[in-house]
Every structure is written in structure tokens, then in C-alpha cells.
Structure 1
Amino acid sequence: MEPKPVRLSQTTITELMIPSYANFGGKIHGGILLSLMDKVAYATSSKHAGTYCVTVSVDKVEFLQPVEVGELVSLHASVNYVGRSSLVVGIRVEAQNVKTGIIKHTNSSYFTMVAKGDDDKPTMVPPLLLEHNEDVKRFIEAMRMKEIKRKVREEMDDANSAIDIARAPQLLKDERCVLKISLT
């Protein structure tokens, strides 16, 4: 399987933010932005894999600035990392005020996608050809994130198995909750 360069699957989707996308505060719903990010992650990963891809996880969704009705939102995506059947797609979301021309960075996120074959099972993806320093940097960052996620999962599994519910009153005494159950 021949490696494919990052540039071949880079994708940008731009969409006008309309009033029906707004929440009660007049800002664009985070769910609308997540849906658009999922769309661009699918397009980017499928272009690289050459097959259907599904979303497995979404990491680091931080809404840095609100998006307003009337702005043009552009989602810039590229494959940052590939494993055997998985791909990490980095997405940068920008909103442009068409009256002023000002562009603001509103979100960044990382979607882990898995390529599926005709049998609906994970299928191998082409290696990623790293042609620029930025490609190498993003690949290594994704490797590190993958390792950090694995360690967190392991620690959470250990912590969950070690929770002593009888110690809840002591552990929760300074938290903003009220226990309304008898602990046994």
C-alpha cells in the first residue's frame, strides 16, 4: 500500500451560519459546529483511506469564542496520524465576519476515525507521507496524545475498581453535592 501525503486529503468546508442554527442566546449551537466537524473529519479521513470511515472519538473540543449568525465558518482539516485502521484528523474552525473581514479561531479538535471495509470491519489505511516539518510535528503530537489517552484509561480503570463508596461522605464533604442515600 503506497503512502499518501497529508496534502492529498486536506479538506476545508465553509458554511454560512443562519438564524436556525442559533441557541436562545443568539450564538451558534455547539452541536451545529460538532456536526460540521464530524462532516469534515469524515471527508478528510475517507479521502486518505479510500473507503468509508466512522468516528470513534472526539478529543479536545473547546469553544474558544462564540460564533455569530451571519458569519462564515470554515473548518480546515488534515490527517495528522494513521495507525493500522485508524486516523487522527486535526480540525481548526474559524469564523469570518463578512462585514469586517475579521477572522477568529473558534475551535480546534481531534477526531479519531476508523476505516471500514465492505465487510463493515476495520480495514488497513495507507501510511501517511510526511513532507513538511509541520506534518512531522502533528504526527508526533498525535502519537503522544494516543499514549496519554491510554494511560488515562488505565488509571481510570484502576481508580474505578478502587472506589470505596463507604468513604463517600469524607471524599465529598467539600464538593457541591448532597448525599441523599444511605451508604452500605
Structure 2
Amino acid sequence: MENAKTVKQSQVETRDIVHPSDVNAYNFVFGGHMMSLLDKAACIAAYTHARRRVTTISIDNVRFFKPATVGTILTIKASVNRVFNTSLEVGLKVVGVHPQISWQPEVICHAYMTFVALDENGKPTPIPSIIPETEDEIRRFEEAGIRRDARKKLTAQLEAK
């Protein structure tokens, strides 16, 4: 595990507040706006881990649980779950508080994004592995492998048609 890094070394936590221009006609944050926030946080985690240029190659299991309305303070957490030679999966969780209603945090959404590391010529290049240390990190590491296998199986099934 030469150059391997712990999960903590690249974890990201960032915040944002929902503005009137970020919401739709129902006063709920646009999914696209949320995706932008997720992609930025995930990219920072991936870049920090890989220490080289990375690009998003897939977005999986984006699930919205609660609406975020104007004034909601969002906390976006991003963490590298697993490394697969030249790619890595980042898990994301968004928690929001609605100060005008309650300061009780609520899970707004979660997602998984896969990034590939690129060399100077824009070609995929190997990156350091990840060392999961806690029970939660180990669980996320194992689940990332299951999601990757499922993506590969689905791709093969669709290409066979």
C-alpha cells in the first residue's frame, strides 16, 4: 500500500445557503443546483486524494429525502469511499437546517460520484489506494465495491442488447 492514504486525509465539508435564485416555482432547491454543489465537493475530495487532475465519470444513487427551501443552510460532506486503480468513488451527504423553522439537522440528499485521475496527456493514471479505518469507512469501502460490480454488470447487459 505504497502512498496509500486514510479516508480522513481527503474528507471535505463545505457549506452553502439556498438563495431565491436557487429554487423552483415550489420554493424547493433545483436538483441541478444541488448536483453542482455535490460535484464541486466531490471533486475537491477526489483531487485532494489523487493529487492530480480528476474528472467526473459517473453519478449514482442521487436520492433526495427532504426539500431545501430558501434560507436552508446546507452542509455538504464528501469522502473517498474506495479507489479502483485509476478511478475512485466519493460518497456525499447533504444535511440542512431550516433556521426559520428549526435548527434540527435533516438529511437532504446523498449521492455517489466516480472520478478518474488523469495524467499530463489526459489519460487515466493510477492513484494511491485508500485505507478505511473506522467501521463506517470499512462499510462504505465494501459497499463501493458492490456498486461498482453492479454498474459493470448493468453496462455489460445493456451493451449485449
Q: Report the TM range for the smaller structure's normalisation.
A: over 0.9
1:140 pairs with 132, 139, 142, which one? 142
- SS of 1:60 mapped into structure 2: strand
Q: What amino acid does structure 2 have at the position aligned with 1:80? A: N
Compute the displacement of 1:155 (Å). Answer: 1.9
How does the TM-score come out when normalised to structure 2?
0.95
Determine which structure has more spread, i.e. the larger CA radius of gyration. 1
- SS of 1:7 mapped into structure 2: helix
Output the CA distance in 2 between the equivalents of 1:142 and 1:75.
Answer: 19
Compute the displacement of 1:88 (Å). Answer: 0.0
Q: Which deviations, in whole Å up to 9, do the C-alpha atoms of 1:5-61 show, x marking residues without a partner?
A: 000100011001111111111111010000000000100000000011100000001
- SS of 1:62 mapped into structure 2: strand
Q: What runs of 5+ residues in structure 1 fail to find an aligned partner? A: 162-184
How does the TM-score come out when normalised to structure 1?
0.83
Partner of 1:76: 77
Compute the displacement of 1:129 (Å). Answer: 1.4
Work out the number of aligned pairs and report it.
159
Compute the displacement of 1:65 (Å). Answer: 1.1
Partner of 1:106: 108
Compute the displacement of 1:115 (Å). Answer: 0.9
Output the CA distance in 2 between the equivalents of 1:110 and 1:156.
Answer: 21
Partner of 1:149: 151
Q: What runs of 5+ residues in structure 2 fail to find an aligned partner? A: none
Matches within 5 A, 1:50-65: 50-65=51-66
* Runs of 4+ that moved beyond 3 A: none
1:40 aligns with 2:41: yes
Q: What amino acid does structure 2 have at the position aligned with 1:151? A: K
Compute the displacement of 1:157 (Å). Answer: 2.5
Output the CA distance in 2 between the equivalents of 1:67 and 1:76.
Answer: 16
1:19 aligns with 2:20: yes
Output the CA distance in 1 between the equivalents of 2:78 and 2:155.
Answer: 27
Partner of 1:115: 117
Output the CA distance in 1 between the equivalents of 2:27 and 2:137.
Answer: 37
Mean Cα deviation higher: 35-44 or 145-154: 145-154
Q: Which deviations, in whole Å up to 9, do the C-alpha atoms of 1:135-156 show, x marking residues without a partner?
A: 1111110001111111112222
Q: Which deviations, in whole Å up to 9, do the C-alpha atoms of 1:90-143 show, x marking residues without a partner?
A: 000111112421211011100000111222111111111121122111111000
Output the CA distance in 2 between the equivalents of 1:97 and 1:135.
Answer: 29
